[in-house]
């Protein structure tokens, strides 16, 4: 799994190193409520996970997926959350109109006391705060004002303009920018050498191209630590070729699974087709008429999606 290669503590960051250096000035006693914001896939969650490790001086945080039922009006709502010895983590936006009730019934219950085992703050991580409605945001602000002695909140947002100003005023806001291309090149070269990935310059340039990674560090890391090595085993271009020349069910099923995996990692179907078109043009595998036929078929499929 590519996550095995990612930074294990806050000292190992190459990307966003200037931000992690500032976070190292924080400790349990001077910790504010924090809001990390930036586009999807810029690395907010990974920075937060390593900040928690740093604050509690641990190399490993064992998390458990938990669920509990709460009654809202006449409905039983199942709340899914992540719990460790150090924090709780929840996606409020998943609960739609119930987000305010999750705050008053579930989160309030958690933070009404300090951690019994060590008398420390309870840390609550809430993702995509910009996707919950304004009433829920203002409810969270009141909860923060009432229970700051017992807890600290760490929240994330993609669009900070959608966060109510009254709530923003309670947080230290930290922007996580998407790295520039020169930083991505340095990052890829460093890991290529460190883990002996044996990627050439052309492959690295492909990984850091915006068409290919769709401005998402998850895509870049997946390509860097898995996809390109996996291409040598799976050889997606060869499978494309065989499907076009011989439409067997076996190849279709395997290719469908692989493309679906890439799509879950935020690769667009267009970027996958572009990758294959670069291959066939460089190989002179098909005539111009055949390439036009492939493009037309790809356009037809994209339109149907």
Q: Which residues pair with 34 in a beta bridge?
A: 154, 172
Name the DSSP letter for residue 120: P
Rounded to the nearest 5 percent, the helix, strand and coil shares of the chain are 55, 15, 30
Secondary structure (3-state) at 41: coil
Contacts of 63 (CB under 8 A, 6+ apart): 82, 83, 84, 89
Relative to beta strand 172-175, strand 34-37 is: parallel
pLDDT at 232: 45
CA distance 172 to 155: 10
pLDDT at 86: 87
Contacts of 231 (CB under 8 A, 6+ apart): 237
**46, 35, 265: which is closest to 159 by C-alpha?**
35
pLDDT at 28: 81
Cα angle 191, 15, 200 (rounded to 5 degrees) comes to: 30
pLDDT at 233: 43
CA distance 215 to 41: 7
CA-CA-CA-CA torsion for 212, 214, 218, 219, nearest 10 degrees? -20
pLDDT at 200: 86
CA distance 255 to 195: 28
**153, 208, 178: which is closest to 15 by C-alpha?**
178
- Taking every pair of C-alpha atoms in the chain, what is the biggest distance, in angstroms? 72
pLDDT at 248: 59
Give the C-alpha distances (Å, rounded to integers) separating 174 from 163, 165, 171, 240: 14, 15, 9, 44
> Tens digit of pLDDT per residue, the chain (305 long)?
567 788 888 988 989 999 999 999 998 888 999 999 999 889 999 999 999 999 989 888 889 999 999 988 888 889 999 999 889 999 998 888 899 999 999 999 999 877 666 667 889 999 999 999 999 999 999 999 999 888 999 999 999 999 999 999 999 999 999 999 999 999 999 999 988 888 888 888 888 887 666 788 887 887 788 765 554 444 556 666 666 666 555 666 766 776 776 666 555 666 667 767 777 777 776 777 877 877 777 677 655 55
pLDDT at 59: 85
Contacts of 35 (CB under 8 A, 6+ apart): 129, 154, 155, 156, 157, 160, 163, 168, 171, 172, 173, 174
Residue 203 neighbours by CB distance under 10 Å = 18
Contacts of 27 (CB under 8 A, 6+ apart): 55
Q: Which tokens go with 266?
A: 């935020």
Alpha helices, H only, the chain: 17-23, 44-55, 99-101, 108-111, 134-147, 165-168, 181-194, 201-207, 210-213, 217-222, 228-234, 236-245, 249-264, 269-283, 288-304
């Amino acid at each position: 799994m590519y996550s095995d290669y990612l930074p294990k503590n806050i000292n190992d960051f190459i990307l966003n190193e200037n931000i992690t250096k500032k976070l190292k000035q924080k400790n349990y006693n001077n910790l504010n409520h924090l809001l990390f914001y930036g586009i999807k896939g810029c690395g907010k969650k990974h920075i937060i996970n390593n900040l928690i490790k740093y604050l509690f001086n641990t190399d490993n945080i064992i998390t458990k997926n938990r669920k509990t039922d709460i009654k809202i009006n006449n409905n039983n709502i199942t709340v899914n959350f992540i719990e460790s010895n150090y924090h709780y983590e929840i996606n409020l936006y998943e609960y739609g109109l119930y987000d305010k009730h999750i705050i008053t019934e579930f989160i309030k219950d958690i933070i009404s006391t300090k951690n019994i085992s060590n008398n420390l703050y309870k840390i609550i991580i809430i993702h995509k705060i910009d996707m919950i409605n304004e009433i829920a945001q203002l409810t969270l602000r009141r909860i923060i004002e009432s229970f700051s002695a017992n807890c600290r909140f760490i929240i994330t947002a993609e669009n900070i303009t959608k966060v109510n100003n009254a709530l923003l005023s309670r947080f230290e806001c930290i922007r996580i920018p998407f790295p520039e291309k020169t930083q991505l090149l340095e990052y890829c070269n460093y890991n290529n050498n460190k883990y002996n990935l044996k990627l050439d310059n052309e492959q690295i340039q492909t990984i850091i191209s915006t068409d290919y990674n769709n401005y998402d560090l998850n895509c870049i890391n997946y390509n860097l630590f898995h996809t390109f090595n996996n291409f040598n085993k799976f050889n997606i271009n060869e499978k494309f070729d065989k499907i076009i020349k011989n439409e067997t069910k076996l190849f279709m099923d395997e290719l469908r699974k692989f493309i679906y995996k890439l799509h879950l990692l935020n690769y667009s179907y267009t970027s996958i087709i572009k990758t294959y078109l670069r291959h066939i043009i460089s190989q002179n595998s098909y005539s111009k008429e055949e390439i036009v036929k492939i493009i037309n078929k790809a356009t037809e499929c994209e339109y149907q999606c």
